[in-house]
Amino acid sequence: MNASGWFRALWRNRFAIAPSRLPMACIFTVASPVNSCLALLQSLVHGRRVASTPLVDDPIFVLGHWRSGTTLLHELLVCDPRHTSPDTYTCFAPNHFLLTERLFTKFLWVFLPSKRPMDDMGIRWGYPQEDEFAIANMGVPSPYLTLLFPNRPPSHPEYVDLRDLTENARERWKRKLLWFLKCLTVRDSKRVVLKTPLHTCRVRTLLEVFPNARFVHITRDPFVIFPSMIHTWKQLYRYQGVQAPRFEGLDEYVLSTFQRMYQRFQEDLPSIDPGRFCEVRYEALVCDPVGQMERVYQQLQLDGFEQARAAMAERAARSTGYRTNRYDVSEEARRAISERWADYIRKYGPWPSEK
């Protein structure tokens, strides 16, 4: 994160750092000015080139709630040799990766866990990653900053769907995202595939920037999504926060965020050209990943599937035998899901777990 983003987060959260997390906070405090200096240097070296670089094409956006299979879908799309994506390093260092990626990734691997804390999936600097992390590390307000201070009220809820931002704030968000994608294009001149679950409720704004974007929406059993999402936030709060998390109000946060996301998504859905939109069920994607991806290409009117088929099959084979986490859902939670997410269940169900 750059210096302005880190110190703004400290001020906003009243410097409420747990004593046990002071070492991590010190790392952020030292690293953020370095990131800002490197950002200035990259702007001096590459700024004109980035500004004049057009995107190869408008992006492909993977939509869907967290834990609904967006990572698998994202990675399959990036198997296409004509596609590129933000990766872990570019999202970790969005302000200066054009300058530092080759050097820093050679020794920063020691700070990267071998697996994601929420599901034991592998993670490397070059693996596809969510662009929302890049936005947050560029100093733009983001709901993901809640990870730093999980015991404080959720950070920047107005940035969930971008609807209530001032015009200046919305334009800044759009400029920052476009600049990041231009930097990616300078590095790798291919069509960008983006995956951030929050984009599910930002379709209206995304189409203002990328009118020819394509969207793939993935759905999954909500009675699996809910406990998996609770587990995910708990793990991320533990590993990435500067507070010892208490998880107060977490169930309500997950329930209400899901509702808000899909209310906005359904409002925006008519604005997407049907020829640029496709839906896939996670359960079907896991059973037949290559066949489902061929259908996605057909519905999105994307050429060149045969060029990607072998790589997609290889990526799918790596998941063979992978065991998803199993969770017990209390009757109280099941009732809340059935009531609060009823519209989603009616539209995209049924699932075997429903009672």
pLDDT in tens, 281-300: 999 999 999 999 999 999 99
**CB-based burial, 335-350: b 16+ in 10 Å, e otherwise:** ebbeebbeebbeebee
SS3 sequence, the chain? CCHHHHHHHHHHCCCCCCHHHHHHHHHHHHHHHHHHHHHHHHHHHHHHHHHHCCCCCCCEEEECCCCCCHHHHHHHHHCCCCEECCEHHHHHCCCCHHHHHHHHCCCHHHHCCCECCCCCCECCCCCECCHHHHHHHCCCCCHHHHHCCCCCCCCCHHHCCCCCCCHHHHHHHHHHHHHHHHHHHHHCCCEEEEECHHHHHCHHHHHHHCCCCEEEEEECCHHHHHHHHHHHHHHHHHHHCCCCCCCCCHHHHHHHHHHHHHHHHHHHHHHCCHHHEEEEEHHHHHHCHHHHHHHHHHHCCCCCHHHHHHHHHHHHHHCCCCCCCCCCCCHHHHHHHHHHCHHHHHHHCCCCCCC
pLDDT of residue 124: 73
Q: Is residue 268 part of a domain?
A: yes
The gap from C-alpha 105 to its chain's centroid, in whole angstroms, comes to 21
Q: What is the pLDDT of residue 147?
A: 95
Confidence at residue 341, expressed as pLDDT on a 0 to 100 scale: 97
Q: Which residue bears the tokens 């409720």? A: 201
- Please give the distance of CA 268 from its chain centroid, rounded to a whole number: 19
Positions of the chain with pLDDT under 50 = none
**pLDDT of 166:** 96
- Is 294 within a domain? yes
**Which residues, other chains included, contact 75 with Cβ-Cβ below 8 Å and sequence gap of 6+?**
127, 128, 315
Give the CATH number for residue 151. Answer: 3.40.50.300
Domain contains 354: no
Angle value at C-alpha 86, between 85 and 87, nearest 5 degrees = 110
The pTM (predicted TM-score) of the whole model is 0.93
> Any bridge partners for residue 214, and if so which?
60
- Does some domain include residue 353? no
Roughly how many angstroms between the first and final C-alpha of the chain, as a whole number? Answer: 45
- Predicted pLDDT of residue 111: 58
Total domains, the chain? 1
Strands 83-84 and 277-281: unpaired
In a domain, 355, yes or no: no
Of 253, 4, 246, 227, nearest to 143 by C-alpha is 253
Q: Note whether residue 68 is domain-resident.
A: yes
Predicted confidence at residue 293, as pLDDT, reads: 97
- Residue 282 and residue 69 in contact, taking contact as beta carbons nearer than 8 Å: yes
Quote the pLDDT of residue 103.
Answer: 85
Task: Write down the pLDDT at residue 39.
Answer: 92
Which of 63, 53, 56, 101 has its CA nearest to residue 83?
56
Long-range contacts of range 98-107, CB-CB < 8 Å, 24 or more positions apart?
A: 98/42, 98/45, 98/46, 98/50, 98/183, 98/186, 98/187, 99/38, 99/41, 99/42, 99/45, 99/46, 100/38, 101/187
Check residue 255 and give its pLDDT. 97
* C-beta of residue 225 within 8 angstroms of C-beta of residue 68: yes
Structural domain boundaries, residue 162: 3-348
